[in-house]
């Protein structure tokens, strides 16, 4: 008796939230004047629906309970995935809680599952956004890791041409904007921090903390030590560039060596059954056609 009541309350709350989110708000005088004069055209229905959904998730995120430690970890994951907006954290919290409520309502009302099934569905809906965020962060880290040798080569050329390290970082960020946008964006942030008065060592450490890429962390450590002890930046960058290029080649060779082992499961579960049916199927049918009359005659 308790499950239908909970499902009805949650479904009603979701419907009310959706209706409240989709209800048009009273436009301000400036917005009405812009629409009438044609300076700001009205948004399409899809964009309005998208904005309404974002507003609904933002309201859920503001109303959800928050822990300081958990919010700090989520902020780090969002930054690692490339989301630095102020509202990204609230939106993610609302999205996670909203998915949990939607999965619970779907499992309890549509599928008419038990309490345990609905709770499991809610847990899946709660964990799914975090899993997607972790996957997006890993993909971004992989792209940054692959683009690092090219950036190091360009940085070596810039430093050997007479540019300072700060100017070389800005130059690399400008040149790699179209090819490697993730690394270019991170280097631009380093340059902005340097212009704002942040020490070079602190700006480089912030770069390593934002990306959480091991190769970039080793590069930052090398640059900080080079700046501290006064050694040649160009020589250190050239040695690190060779090492990074060797690591990239070794990772490619490792991935190629793992291909054979990864192909075993598709071969066994997908390709081999089809081959077995095509090759042995006609013989099995013929075998059954021959043996069945013999067995019937013996009986």
User: CA 18, CA 7: separation in Å to the nearest integer?
Assistant: 16
Over 80: is that where the pLDDT of 93 sits? yes
What mean pLDDT do residues 65-82 have?
86
Give domain limits for the chain: 2-113, 141-256
**DSSP assigned state of 196:** T
Both tokens of residue 235?
């020589």
Q: State residue 40's pLDDT score.
A: 47
User: CA 224, CA 143: separation in Å to the nearest integer?
Assistant: 24
Over 90: is that where the pLDDT of 188 sits? yes
Q: State residue 299's pLDDT score.
A: 65
Over 90: is that where the pLDDT of 186 sits? yes
Over 70: is that where the pLDDT of 289 sits? yes
CATH 1.10.30 fits 141-256, yes or no: no
Which pLDDT band, with edges at 50, 70 and 90, does 22 fall under? Answer: very low
Residues 6 or more apart whose Cβ sits within 8 Å of residue 256: none
Q: Which of 27-36, 80-89, 123-132, 281-290 has the lowest mean pLDDT?
A: 27-36
Residues 6 or more apart whose Cβ sits within 8 Å of residue 71: 89
User: CA 109, CA 118: separation in Å to the nearest integer?
Assistant: 9
**pLDDT, tens only, 153-173:** 999 999 988 888 899 999 999
Over 60: is that where the pLDDT of 96 sits? yes
> With left for phi above 0 and alpha for psi between -120 and 50, is residue 293 left, alpha or beta?
alpha
Over 90: is that where the pLDDT of 190 sits? yes
């Amino acid at each position: 008796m308790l499950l239908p009541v909970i499902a009805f309350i949650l479904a009603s709350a979701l419907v009310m939230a959706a209706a409240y989110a989709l209800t048009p708000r009273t436009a301000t005088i400036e917005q009405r004047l812009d629409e009438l004069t044609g300076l700001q055209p009205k948004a399409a229905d899809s964009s309005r629906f998208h904005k309404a959904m974002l507003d609904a998730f933002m309201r859920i995120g503001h109303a959800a309970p928050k822990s300081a430690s958990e919010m700090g970890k989520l902020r780090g994951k969002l930054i690692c995935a490339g989301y630095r907006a102020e509202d990204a954290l609230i939106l993610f919290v609302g999205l996670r809680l909203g998915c949990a409520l939607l999965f619970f309502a779907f499992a309890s009302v549509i599928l008419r599952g038990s309490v345990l099934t609905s709770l499991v569905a809610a847990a899946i809906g709660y964990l799914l956004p975090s899993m997607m965020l972790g996957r997006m962060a890993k993909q971004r880290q992989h792209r940054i890791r692959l683009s690092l040798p090219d950036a190091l080569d360009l940085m070596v050329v810039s430093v050997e041409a007479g540019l300072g390290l700060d100017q070389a970082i800005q130059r690399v960020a400008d040149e790699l904007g179209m090819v490697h946008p993730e690394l270019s964006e991170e280097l631009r942030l380093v340059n902005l921090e340097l212009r704002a008065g942040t020490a070079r060592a602190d700006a480089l450490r912030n770069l390593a903390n934002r990306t959480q890429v091991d190769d970039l962390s080793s590069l930052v450590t090398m640059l900080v030590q080079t700046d501290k002890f006064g050694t040649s930046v160009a020589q250190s960058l050239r040695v690190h560039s060779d090492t990074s290029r060797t690591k990239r080649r070794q990772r490619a060779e490792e991935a190629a060596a793992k291909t054979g082992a990864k192909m075993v499961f598709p071969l066994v579960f997908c390709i081999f059954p089809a081959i077995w049916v095509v090759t042995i199927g006609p013989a099995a049918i013929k075998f059954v056609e021959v043996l069945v009359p013999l067995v019937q005659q013996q009986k």
